[in-house]
Structure 1
Amino acid sequence: MLSLDVLGPGGPYRSRRQETIHGLSGEAAATLSLAPSLYVTRAIKAMRRASELPVDTRLDAIARAGRAFATGTVAGQTAQEYQHTVSVSTGIPISVVRSATDDIAQAAERIHLNVANARPAGAVSSWRDPRAKDGAAAWTRRGTVFAVHAAGNHPAVHQGWLDALALGYHVVVRPSRREPFTPYRLVTALREAGFGDERVVLLPTDHSVADDILRHADYGMVYGGADVVGKYAGDPRILPQGPGRSKVLITAETAWEPLVDTLVESISGGGGVGCINATGVLVEGDPAPVAAAIAERLAALPSLPPTDERAVLPVMPVEPARRWDVYLRQRTVGAKAWLGGDGIADELGDGSAALRPAVHQLDSPFDERLGMELGFPCAWVAPWDREAGIRPLRDSLVLTAATTDEDLIDSLVAEPSIANVYIGDHPTPWMAHGLPHDGYLAEFLMRTKTIRR
């Protein structure tokens, strides 16, 4: 059984208070040390005293850490052992974990793209730049310590905070207690690559101590549901990362039949557990044929243990899977079930159950269920018309718009609550290194100031 220590400025720390992490079948997979409040306070104070690494040193260390994370032995585990541990503990298909491992390594290798692309074109990165002689805008940090309350739904979320390290922040990661394995491995790799113990730390805590981390840091990023977004929405130091509520829009002049592959990938890609997976599909015209085609394709996905190479659906212990099933049935009253109406918990015989896809048709584009994001492939298909406009499309992390209407596209791109717009036949999980996910993190962490030498 793995022992996951606190990784503090003084090195690994095994606290007296520990939590056992169980696998899908109830077996103990790891013990996780929980940092007490006083330790958190002292750790962040120590981080403030640490010197800043030069930017080239930071970028090189992040790239080397990414390679070690993806291919090496880190914290006593090979990459294959780490991936197996994540899969059997969380129910995320092994192929998805493997892909996320590669994504993190590539993000680390290309971290310079995010740093360069986020900086204003007219700004310099240092006061030493010759352009500062006659006056220039310098790109500088707003603070020193950045804290992350990480999500546990997908390993790839840990790409996000690498930007802060690249920008010169010292980073505190509070891992999800569902999936602490990825940040533990990544933080260890970063420390071994040159960041040392005092510039990037892992502070697992219980909920009573979690806010202490944010209080002592200069800036923070928090993942969670609508309740978390509401809690921190008024704090300018905190960047909430809430539900994605990603969507696909198909307008009348666009044939939907060639888009079925894209719809299926948008809904179920990566296990359907991410914020970039589509929850809503809006169709100008009759949504029934679209819903039927999606349901037919998703029904063919197999229910398999997560370590099976063919697995594509998330798995969890039977009891929580049954609770999800009950919850979905309660929320689908009045909707037409194309898939999942007879249950989504498919028991595998070992104490776990695969979460089967669900597809339901709604009567209105304003039905709030279009934005209901669940931890498995679940889509809500609804009619849309020009009179409804962009209101049903708001609050989307990703919107795929299969349309040729340039006026509509202008409105979608201009809408502040839509973070990313993909025009045409592009699945919502598409991402590219160097492009913003929900804006560049640097937009939140950096500022310009005038420098004249």
Structure 2
Amino acid sequence: MIGPSTDVVPLDALGARGSYRSRSRLTVTDVAGQESAELSLVPSLFVDRTLKAMHLAATPARDVRIGMIAQAAELFATATLDGLTPDAYAHRVSRVGGTPISVVRATVTAIASRLRKVHHSVEHARPTGAVHRWDDPLTRTGRAVWVRRGNVFAVHAAGNHPGPHSLWPEALALGYRVAVRPSRREPYTPHRLVTALRAAGFGDDQVALLPTDHAAAGALLRGADVGLVYGGDDVVRKYAGNPSVLPQGPGRSKILLTHEVDWRDHLDTIVDSVSGHGGTGCVNTTAVFVEGDPAPLCAALAERLAAVPSLPPQDPAAVFPVQPLATAKALEAHLLHRAVGTKPWLGGDGILAELGDGSAVLRGAVHQLDSPHAPQATVEMPFPCVWVAPWTREDGLAPLKGSLVLTAITHDEGLVAALVEEPSIGNVYVGDHRTYWMDSGLPHDGYLAEFLMRCKSVIRD
């Protein structure tokens, strides 16, 4: 295990003219309140100038872009960047974000793998009848051409997990210039990735990192052609009517077990779906619906999660996430408030395990609901928290709607067909599949390219 470092890492803004260390800086602390990094914040004027340069920048050829992204994958995973080796980087991400270090390391591997397959991913999104270029021979008789909706893509990044940073490089593969506003909670991953992309050959005016305060954050979306924003329900509501912004909100992923299956055969999958990756992601299971008595499953889940040790995030055996004590207490209070009226099997008296350094482990929680329609079934928490409810065929699809992922452990093909056809369910996994399963080339919340690209008809002499 790598020991803690007392060095404060300078994380400069990465604008169109290179690295920039501003006078306005944010101190990034770890979960114990120790200083870890100093993040340069840029004003709206800096954002505007950077985006103006990006709008004017040339786009490298498609094969060149793909090659540079593949090279960046190797650098991201193996090189010393920003003065940090891969191990030192993983340690700092674990300490500032509270994410178990085993999850950080696995995510580094996953991000690199996805970057290496970025051409494969974006090609899966392209309509089969569309070509890449207006001068393709097929356009002589008329053809759809797949084109960008703009030139500059802005990202308000998430900080709960490094994994979402595997997605936005697809925009570079499609020819966009990309500007990323990192999360204050965990800026190391986007800084490292942008640094790797620049080292691989992307120009400073093609990919940028623009840390801002909240007042200047709007300048990034206003100056870009299209944008991606991560956040809660408030963010989704704010941008729901804006066709130029793609909001990414809570996942509220679920598992359904029908009467003809034995949940005992799938307990590992259910536990992992709840607690895997620290239980912090939109693809972790929020609710489990059981056709039958949910109590035995609740007891088994509580027993398994209660046995997990409380460890600091940099411990290789850590499973649960860690947060500063004040943040952890606020989350615990929110859980206890929302859980009123439910039957607690685990976490009814609280979910904190203080580590003695000003931080606390967010342990698992299991609550049984009386009805699949109970409002708690949609309450998503940034730690392993699951609501277990009874479900009947008469309840239908209503309790299952609004799911990023739904794992349906059932033999009922008619039910599966209805779930796949339900517009508000993003992905359907049939059988023994964890809700956090993902693979390159498959959509997460739809393909990002569905939002970034469009088809137009071209015919030429």
Shorter-chain TM-score tier: over 0.9
User: What's 2:18 paired with?
Assistant: 11
User: What's 2:341 paired with?
Assistant: 334
* Distance in 2 between residues matched to 1:15 and 1:440, nearest whole Å: 36
Give the counterpart of 2:129 among 122, 126, 134: 122
Counterpart of 1:149 in structure 2: which amino acid? Answer: H
User: What's 1:24 paired with?
Assistant: 31
The aligned runs of 1:420-431 (5 Å cut-off) are: 420-431=427-438
Deviations 1:238-280 (A, max 9, x none): 1000000000000111111101001001000000000000000
In the TM superposition, residue 368 of structure 1 has moved relative to its aligned partner by 1.7
User: What's 1:223 paired with?
Assistant: 230
Structure 2: state its 5+ residue gaps: 1-7
User: What's 1:43 paired with?
Assistant: 50
The aligned runs of 1:62-141 (5 Å cut-off) are: 62-141=69-148
Give the counterpart of 1:33 among 37, 40, 50: 40
Give the counterpart of 1:175 among 174, 182, 185: 182
* Distance in 2 between residues matched to 1:172 and 1:273, nearest whole Å: 25
* Distance in 2 between residues matched to 1:326 and 1:390, nearest whole Å: 31
User: What's 1:233 paired with?
Assistant: 240
When the two chains are superposed, the root-mean-square deviation of aligned CA atoms in Å is: 0.8
User: What's 2:172 paired with?
Assistant: 165
User: What's 2:292 paired with?
Assistant: 285
* Alignment TM-score, normalising by the size of structure 2: 0.97
In the TM superposition, residue 452 of structure 1 has moved relative to its aligned partner by 2.3
* Distance in 2 between residues matched to 1:23 and 1:117, nearest whole Å: 39
1:382 aligns with 2:383: no
In the TM superposition, residue 136 of structure 1 has moved relative to its aligned partner by 1.2
In the TM superposition, residue 130 of structure 1 has moved relative to its aligned partner by 2.0
Give the 3-state SS of the residue equivalent to 1:132 in structure 2: helix
* Distance in 2 between residues matched to 1:433 and 1:292, nearest whole Å: 36
* Distance in 2 between residues matched to 1:113 and 1:392, nearest whole Å: 35
1:149 aligns with 2:164: no
* Distance in 1 between residues matched to 2:383 and 2:35, nearest whole Å: 24
* Distance in 2 between residues matched to 1:15 and 1:270, nearest whole Å: 34
User: What's 1:302 paired with?
Assistant: 309
* Distance in 2 between residues matched to 1:395 and 1:409, nearest whole Å: 16
Counterpart of 1:268 in structure 2: which amino acid? Answer: S
In the TM superposition, residue 192 of structure 1 has moved relative to its aligned partner by 1.0
Contact in 1 for aligned 2:97/2:161 (Cα 8 Å): no
* Distance in 1 between residues matched to 2:34 and 2:255, nearest whole Å: 40
* Distance in 2 between residues matched to 1:74 and 1:263, nearest whole Å: 38
Give the 3-state SS of the residue equivalent to 2:121 in structure 1: helix
User: What's 1:253 paired with?
Assistant: 260
Deviations 1:52-95 (A, max 9, x none): 11010111111110111011111221111110110111111110
User: What's 1:193 paired with?
Assistant: 200
Deviations 1:370-429 (A, max 9, x none): 111111000000011111111111110000001111111111101111100000110101
Give the counterpart of 1:410 among 417, 422, 439: 417
1:366 aligns with 2:373: yes
In the TM superposition, residue 324 of structure 1 has moved relative to its aligned partner by 1.5
Give the 3-state SS of the residue equivalent to 1:172 in structure 2: strand
User: What's 2:330 paired with?
Assistant: 323
* Distance in 1 between residues matched to 2:86 and 2:377, nearest whole Å: 38
Q: Percent identity?
A: 59
* Alignment TM-score, normalising by the size of structure 1: 0.99
Larger CA deviation: 380-389 vs 403-412: 403-412
Give the 3-state SS of the residue equivalent to 1:195 in structure 2: coil
* Distance in 2 between residues matched to 1:184 and 1:205, nearest whole Å: 14
1:276 aligns with 2:283: yes
Moved over 4 A (4+): none
Counterpart of 2:68 in structure 1: which amino acid? Answer: A
Structure 1: state its 5+ residue gaps: none
Give the 3-state SS of the residue equivalent to 1:186 in structure 2: helix
Give the 3-state SS of the residue equivalent to 1:388 in structure 2: coil
Give the 3-state SS of the residue equivalent to 2:323 in structure 1: strand
Give the counterpart of 1:435 among 409, 428, 442: 442
* Distance in 1 between residues matched to 2:305 and 2:137, nearest whole Å: 58
The aligned runs of 1:385-404 (5 Å cut-off) are: 385-404=392-411
- Aligned residue pair count: 453
Counterpart of 2:86 in structure 1: which amino acid? Answer: A
* Distance in 2 between residues matched to 1:247 and 1:211, nearest whole Å: 33
* Distance in 2 between residues matched to 1:328 and 1:442, nearest whole Å: 36
1:311 aligns with 2:332: no
* Distance in 1 between residues matched to 2:344 and 2:208, nearest whole Å: 46
The aligned runs of 1:206-221 (5 Å cut-off) are: 206-221=213-228
Give the 3-state SS of the residue equivalent to 2:450 in structure 1: helix
Counterpart of 1:237 in structure 2: which amino acid? Answer: S
In the TM superposition, residue 37 of structure 1 has moved relative to its aligned partner by 0.6
1:348 aligns with 2:355: yes
Give the 3-state SS of the residue equivalent to 1:65 in structure 2: helix
1:202 aligns with 2:212: no
* Distance in 2 between residues matched to 1:433 and 1:267, nearest whole Å: 22
Counterpart of 1:103 in structure 2: which amino acid? Answer: A
In the TM superposition, residue 342 of structure 1 has moved relative to its aligned partner by 2.0
* Distance in 2 between residues matched to 1:208 and 1:391, nearest whole Å: 39
* Distance in 2 between residues matched to 1:211 and 1:370, nearest whole Å: 33
* Distance in 1 between residues matched to 2:80 and 2:441, nearest whole Å: 28
